[in-house]
């Protein structure tokens, strides 16, 4: 008698794409069950691909949170949008997130057109259903299904978790058979120093307004485990001009102090160790055109 076959495993990449602010990072965190990707009310929060890993039955799902897709202007914009489309090309399933409250506008129309070039099966996810009446949702789902070929349509609230379990089951049933690519308990492939830099950038975004967040970036320079179990982390916030440095510091250092306190608490919670966080603010004119900054972010440097 032959041995009974081991239960077949499934495994695959699921790209979460959409316009800025659609709720991709919120959905990634909900699907994985832990905060892996930063979330803010501002557009263009996510800058590079963030992978979050979840197990559902016999399937391992590798979700890829991507930067929002919009009409790029700066070099950094082009790198971000390029990485999002690249992820769509490299995944087994592509989920298009639409902010149902915002509906379909220029960015969304352009993304739907771009999807025609993507070979993987596409799934439509209407998000933020907590903000929208049912008839409007149905009309939106119908209109989008007329403009592109979606294998399925889901209505979710990434924030409340409504509908997320159904979506996850769908992905688990539709990724291809194959061995798992990551150990069972791994939920992200991002190094902790990158996660820590992202957390600080989230606090910067939440604290500062207007253009400033888009002109800053955060890097972890030092990560030192101390004998008492705490971790000493030194990070640099790069801005483009001296006037911006003053804003990040705030009157009497108020702003940087608040950003540091909020970041320290979240980093400590994420790594489950006490943290001593030291933030430095440096002016680096034109960092948005410096290849080294892109390498640090995990983005390809666009030639122009």
Q: Which residues bind ligand GTP (CB under 6 A)?
A: 18, 20-26, 39-41, 43-46, 67-68, 127-128, 130-131, 157-159
When asked if residue 87 is in the footprint of Mg ion (CB under 5 A), the reply is no
Neighbouring C-beta atoms of residue 122, cutoff 10 Å: 21
44 binds, among Mg ion, ligand GTP, none (CB under 5 to 8 A by kind): ligand GTP
Is residue 52 helix, strand or coil? strand
Q: Which of 214, 207, 200 is nearest to 254 (CA)?
A: 207
Nearer to Mg ion by C-beta: 255 or 266?
Answer: 266
**Residue (25 or 83) nearer to ligand GTP, CB:** 25
Report yes or no: 268 and 245 within 8 Å, Cβ to Cβ.
no
Using CB under 5 A, pick the residue from 29, 46, 83, 216 that binds Mg ion.
Answer: 46
Taking the C-alpha atoms of residue 43 and residue 265, their distance in angstroms, rounded to an integer, is: 24
Q: How far is the CB of 117 from ligand GTP (least distance, A)?
A: 20
Q: Which is nearer to ligand GTP, 47 or 264 (CB)?
A: 47
Cβ closest to Mg ion, residue 25 vs residue 127: 25
CB nearer to Mg ion: pick between 24 and 174: 24
Least Cβ distance, residue 201 to ligand GTP (angstroms): 11
- Give the number of other Cβ atoms within 10 Å of residue 274's Cβ: 12
The rounded distance, in Å, linking the Cα atoms of 229 and 226 is: 6
Q: Which one of 43-51, 169-177, 247-255, 286-294 is the stretch in contact with Mg ion (CB under 5 A)?
A: 43-51
Minimum Å gap between C-beta 47 and ligand GTP is 8
Give the contact letters, 10-39, x = binds to Mg ion (CB under 5 A), - = no.
--------------xx--------------
Contact 281, 219 (CB under 8 A): no
User: Cα(9)–Cα(175) distance, rounded to whole angstroms?
Assistant: 10
Q: Which is nearer to ligand GTP, 59 or 188 (CB)?
A: 188
Count the Cβ atoms, other than its own, within 10 Å of residue 185. 7
- Beta bridge partners, 239, equal 283
Residue 130: contacted member of ligand GTP, Mg ion, none (CB under 5 to 8 Å, by partner type): ligand GTP
Q: Which is nearer to ligand GTP, 26 or 200 (CB)?
A: 26
Residue 157 binding result from ligand GTP, Mg ion, none, given CB thresholds of 5 to 8 Å by partner type: ligand GTP
Among 13, 18, 45, 172, binds Mg ion (CB under 5 A): 45
Beta strands, E only, the chain = 10-18, 50-56, 59-65, 93-99, 122-127, 152-155, 217-225, 231-239, 275-283
State in angstroms the smallest separation of the CB of 23 from ligand GTP. 3
What is the spatial distance between Cα 187 and Cα 156, in angstroms, rounded to a whole number?
Answer: 22
CB of 37 to ligand GTP, least distance (A): 7
| Token output for 220 | 């972890």
* Residue nearest ligand GTP (C-beta atom): 68
The beta strand positions in 128-270, using DSSP E, are 152-155, 217-225, 231-239
Q: Is 95 exposed, middle or buried (0-12, 13-18, 19+ CB in 10 A)?
A: buried
Token pair belonging to 171: 């992905």
Residues that bind Mg ion (CB under 5 A): 24-25, 45-46
């Amino acid at each position: 008698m032959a041995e009974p076959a081991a239960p077949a495993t499934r495994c695959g990449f699921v790209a979460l794409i959409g316009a800025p602010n659609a709720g991709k990072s919120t959905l990634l965190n909900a699907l994985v069950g832990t905060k892996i990707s930063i979330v803010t009310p501002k557009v263009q929060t996510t800058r590079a691909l963030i992978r979050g890993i979840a197990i559902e039955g016999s399937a391992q799902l590798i979700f890829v949170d991507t930067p929002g897709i919009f009409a790029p202007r700066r070099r950094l914009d082009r790198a971000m949008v390029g990485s999002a489309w690249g992820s769509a090309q490299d995944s087994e399933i592509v989920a298009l997130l639409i902010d149902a409250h915002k509906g379909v506008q220029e960015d969304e129309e352009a993304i739907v057109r771009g999807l025609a070039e993507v070979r993987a099966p596409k799934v439509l996810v209407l998000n933020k259903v907590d903000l929208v009446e049912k008839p409007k949702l149905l009309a939106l789902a119908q209109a989008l299904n007329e403009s592109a070929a979606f294998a399925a349509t889901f209505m979710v609230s990434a924030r409340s978790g409504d509908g997320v379990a159904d979506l996850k089951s769908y992905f688990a049933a539709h990724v291809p058979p194959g061995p798992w690519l990551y150990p069972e308990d791994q939920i992200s492939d991002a190094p902790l120093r990158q996660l820590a830099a992202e957390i600080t950038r989230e606090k910067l975004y939440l604290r500062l307004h207007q253009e400033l967040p888009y002109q800053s970036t955060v890097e972890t320079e030092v990560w030192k485990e101390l004998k008492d179990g705490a971790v000493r982390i030194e990070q640099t916030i790069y801005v483009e001009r001296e006037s911006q440095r003053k804003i990040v510091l705030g009157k009497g250092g108020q702003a940087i102090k608040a950003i540091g306190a909020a970041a320290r608490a979240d980093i400590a919670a994420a790594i489950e160790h006490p943290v001593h966080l030291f933030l430095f603010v440096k002016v680096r004119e034109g960092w948005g055109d410096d290849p080294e900054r892109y390498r640090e972010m995990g983005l390809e440097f666009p030639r122009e």
